Structure 1
Amino acid sequence: MRPIRLFVPGNIRHSSGGNVYNARLVDGLKALGAEVEVIAVEGSWPGAGGHERRRLGALLGASDRETDPGQPVTIVDGLVAVGAPDELEFAAKAGRQTWVLVHMPVPENAGSEALRREARAMRAATGVICTSTWAASELSKRGLPEARVVLPGVDPAPGAPGSTPPHLAVVAALLPNKDQLLVVEALARIRDLDWTASFVGSDQADPGYAREVRSAVIASGLQERLRLTGELTGEPLETQWARTDLTLLVSRTEAFGMAVTESLAHGIPVLVRAGTGAVEALSLAGLETSDGEPRLPGAAVPLPVGGQESPGRLAGVLRRWLEDAGVRESWRTAAVEARQKLPGWSSTAQGLLALLEARADGTPPGD
């Protein structure tokens, strides 16, 4: 087993899905006996400057021909890779085995130059690994090389007893894509019902958006019922999970959404935006009805971006969940059942090692 070097962006310091995946993957690889070195690459990735890109190139060994068969296998986080296509192309010419780990493809609205840089980086890579089927599908639509999927795992967690009145939580950094403003609008429409809520996530990732969310909470008169906790870890985060009855993840785009599986690990149902990768996370446990039909531990709701249709739709689903004890019980039962079927991080690490070893043996991954 060759050593592994994982290059991660040094500029993402809040708790993101990519950061969590990278850290837990490394733990899993080490538990399997792999030698892993994590290198945090400084720079404003993916828009790092020339100095940071040249440093990355030197670290990749892009200027040296590979002669040592024990040379480490390099995995570059996609946020870094799409900012350094030149360096990945040089590394490929030097014979380096360099994989790209894609958590989220470049957004379609990022512009043609950003998409070209992504395409060059993906084509220069030894192989592309995506952390969700949704991400791999997006790259395929762009005509890029086939990506292999290694889904996130989840840690076992204690079941959540919940609260009275019911408590709702959005576990995500305060970012425009996560659309906490939509949740505020929806909650304002059901203020006649009993509930409390928390937004659990960093307010430093986008301070301007965080101020917008706080202002919206106050303007809606929800400040006594909706709390912004900031980023939580460890016991304070577990305390939040313990009091939660329903989690919401209504991101405009989402490759997977590990907050979904983390919620299910606590036996808490989840409401997600239809059409995003979060639906894959919600259906990961593969639950079925007695008739063999798919059964979600929560709901995937169509929420168009823009306009005033989405707040009403979301409010309607939340109202039904709050007013109908049968709906609450069925979602909760499915979440508790899903809790027993979620894959652990060891399966993530095993899946990635299988891809690397298959390529080293000359066997097409997946054969």
Structure 2
Amino acid sequence: MRIRFLVPGNVRHGSGGNKYNAKLAEHLNALGATVETVTVDGDWPVGSPADRQRFAQALDGGTTVIADGLVASGAPEEVAGAVQAGTKVWILSHMALADHHDLEAKALAAATGIICPSMHSAAELQARHGSLDITVATPGAEPADISEGSHPKHIVSVAALLPNKSQTLLIEALSQIKDLPWTAALIGSEEAAPAYAAEVRAAVEHHGLQDRLSVTGELTGQALQDQWRRADLSVLISQSESFGMVVTESLAHGVPVLVRQGTGAVEALGHSGAGAVWDPKEALGGTLRTWLTDHALQESWRSNALQARRGLQRWESTARTVLDALEAPPR
């Protein structure tokens, strides 16, 4: 099967959506499909008339297209035109658009099919637009070396510095437990929202945490692996997450995770007991204090993370789910 995979050109940091798209394309190829990934530049999710024309041209010429929802959901006329011309257009909706409800509804209705990376994101889409036929293809996880941990305990938060990711809230919480031994690292791009990244750095200085909390920027390769090797706890307290691939990445290293209630990260953590779901009504500093001072809790979370590591889904399974949906006869 030949597949053209259309991805947005205006998300340049290491987002979960970008990583999902790249891994899905890689493993569809491994299963025998021929995937052509095309980056569509534009001011998405709606774009200018010229942007949408560029998108329409990218839709032309393939019998099967997977289009990232950030591009496709704001361009229903282009999706409908391609489908009417005989192209199968599947919208991969990582997360419902915050705005542009009507455009998204029309695009989803016009598409050949819809793919979501989690039950959480599928439910959000259906809550906005009613009953939809959605294929859920949850992310896989790459095999990884087991964390060695650190003394004192090392906390990591792996996410681009964005207001949604709530790094300033984590800094505030850490400032409340300075009496305990710990180190921490905020690992993620500072380019996506420079003003917020400046707020994050200012908060670190305001609370006098420069010697204990590092803001590393986006890390890859050995530098990132060194952080995972040292990690004892991973924290993902975004206000919204479609899934939170860093959760399964953490578990692949045997590192327990603290996630925020009401987000897709809860689905990623599952019922493993490899960490906890934080209720925003509770003090985050208190939750971290409990973990840092309760050695039995630390051992329990760590043991459960190592157990969860053995059962993580691989990307081949994700790609197989998508390929089966694309190859199935129309419903």
Range of TM-score over shorter length: over 0.9
Aligned equivalents of 1:260 and 1:83: distance in 2?
29
Aligned equivalents of 1:205 and 1:295: distance in 2?
32
2:165 match: 178
Correspondence 1:308-323 to 2 at 5 A: 313-323=283-293
Aligned equivalents of 1:91 and 1:36: distance in 2?
18
1:275 match: 262
Q: CA deviation at 1:82?
A: 1.8
**Is 1:236 the equivalent of 2:214?**
no
Aligned equivalents of 1:321 and 1:258: distance in 2?
23
Which of 79, 85, 99 is the matching residue for 1:88?
79
**Is 1:74 the equivalent of 2:65?**
yes
**Is 1:215 the equivalent of 2:202?**
yes
**Is 1:336 the equivalent of 2:306?**
yes
1:121 match: 107
Aligned equivalents of 1:15 and 1:191: distance in 2?
31
* Kept after mapping to 2: 8 A contact 1:140/1:146: no
Q: TM-score, normalised by structure 2?
A: 0.97
**Any gaps of 5 or more consecutive residues in structure 2?**
none
Which of 263, 270, 281 is the matching residue for 2:250?
263
Aligned equivalents of 2:142 and 2:190: distance in 1?
25
Aligned equivalents of 1:41 and 1:222: distance in 2?
41
* Kept after mapping to 1: 8 A contact 2:156/2:235: yes
Deviations 1:108-143 (A, max 9, x none): xx3xxx111111111110000000110100111121
* Kept after mapping to 2: 8 A contact 1:159/1:265: yes
Q: CA deviation at 1:144?
A: 5.0
Distance of aligned partners of 1:165 and 1:271 in 2 relative to their CA distance in 1, 3 Å threshold: same
Aligned equivalents of 2:30 and 2:133: distance in 1?
29
Aligned equivalents of 1:165 and 1:44: distance in 2?
45
Two-structure CA RMSD over aligned residues (Å): 1.2
Aligned equivalents of 2:63 and 2:78: distance in 1?
17
| Percentage of matched positions with identical amino acids | 52
**Is 1:29 the equivalent of 2:20?**
no
Q: CA deviation at 1:95?
A: 2.6
* Kept after mapping to 2: 8 A contact 1:175/1:210: yes
1:300 match: 277
1:40 match: 39
Deviations 1:24-54 (A, max 9, x none): 1111111111111000001121132111111
- One-letter amino acid of the counterpart of residue 132, structure 1: S
Aligned equivalents of 1:169 and 1:198: distance in 2?
5
How many residues in Structure 1 have an aligned counterpart in Structure 2? 330
State the SS of the aligned residue for 1:137.
Answer: helix
Q: CA deviation at 1:86?
A: 1.6
State the SS of the aligned residue for 2:316.
Answer: helix
Aligned equivalents of 1:223 and 1:44: distance in 2?
36
Which of 214, 232, 238 is the matching residue for 1:251?
238
Aligned equivalents of 2:249 and 2:181: distance in 1?
25
1:307 match: none
1:290 match: none
Deviations 1:322-354 (A, max 9, x none): 001000000000000001000110001111011
State the SS of the aligned residue for 2:36.
Answer: strand
Which of 124, 138, 161 is the matching residue for 1:138?
124
State the SS of the aligned residue for 1:213.
Answer: helix
* Kept after mapping to 1: 8 A contact 2:135/2:322: no
Q: CA deviation at 1:295?
A: 4.0
Farther-moved stretch of structure 1 (168-177 vs 83-92): 83-92
Farther-moved stretch of structure 1 (240-249 vs 93-102): 93-102
Aligned equivalents of 1:43 and 1:157: distance in 2?
35
* Kept after mapping to 2: 8 A contact 1:136/1:146: no
Aligned equivalents of 1:197 and 1:118: distance in 2?
39
Aligned equivalents of 1:77 and 1:330: distance in 2?
39
* Kept after mapping to 2: 8 A contact 1:119/1:144: no
* Kept after mapping to 1: 8 A contact 2:73/2:91: no
* Kept after mapping to 1: 8 A contact 2:90/2:111: yes
Q: CA deviation at 1:179?
A: 0.4
State the SS of the aligned residue for 1:194.
Answer: coil
Aligned equivalents of 1:47 and 1:141: distance in 2?
22
Deviations 1:145-164 (A, max 9, x none): 22110000010000000110
Deviations 1:172-203 (A, max 9, x none): 00000000011011001101100000000000
State the SS of the aligned residue for 2:143.
Answer: coil
Deviations 1:215-253 (A, max 9, x none): 111101111111000000111110110011000000001
* Kept after mapping to 2: 8 A contact 1:122/1:144: no
* Kept after mapping to 1: 8 A contact 2:5/2:36: yes
Aligned equivalents of 2:325 and 2:81: distance in 1?
23
